[in-house]
């Protein structure tokens, strides 16, 4: 009797990312979705984002100088916080029934036949 051990669950995550551009900040946040899910679930098969909502987006601007005085330039650091609704397909490892078999050690050393015989006195 086979039992389907694949489960589907919907999960809402809040992730944040930083970067030197808008694209880098969003990519950094989306990369953290998989890491966050893998902390809670043992073996994920597929992660599908259903919706992505921007909670907060900031840009920090500052002037950067070379050797404190020379070559001033304007720099920007982007921060974004996303609310991601995901559909996760995963395997529940606790529901998998393994059949136990006792076998000889496959990596063991096979002794020559004359060593395995009983010693005769």
Buried b (16+ CB within 10 A) or exposed e, 30-49: bebbeeebeeebeeeeebee
What confidence tens digit (pLDDT) does each residue in 29-86 have? Answer: 999 999 999 888 878 889 999 999 999 999 998 888 888 778 888 889 999 999 999 9
Rg, C-alpha atoms of the chain: 28
Q: How many residues does the chain have?
A: 121
Q: pLDDT at position 100, please?
A: 87
- Regarding predicted confidence, which is higher, 22 or 69? 22
Is the whole model's pTM more than 0.75, yes or no?
A: no
């Amino acid at each position: 009797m086979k039992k389907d051990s694949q489960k589907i669950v919907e999960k809402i995550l809040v992730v944040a990312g930083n970067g030197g551009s808008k694209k880098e900040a969003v990519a950094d946040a989306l990369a953290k979705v998989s890491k966050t899910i893998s902390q809670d679930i043992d073996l994920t098969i597929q992660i599908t984002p259903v919706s992505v909502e921007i909670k907060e987006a900031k840009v920090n601007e500052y002037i950067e100088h070379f050797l404190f005085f020379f070559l001033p330039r304007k720099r920007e650091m982007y921060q974004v916080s996303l609310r991601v609704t995901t559909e996760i397909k995963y395997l529940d490892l606790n529901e998998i029934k393994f059949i136990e078999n006792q076998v000889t050690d496959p990596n063991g050393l096979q002794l020559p036949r004359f060593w395995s015989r009983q010693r005769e006195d």
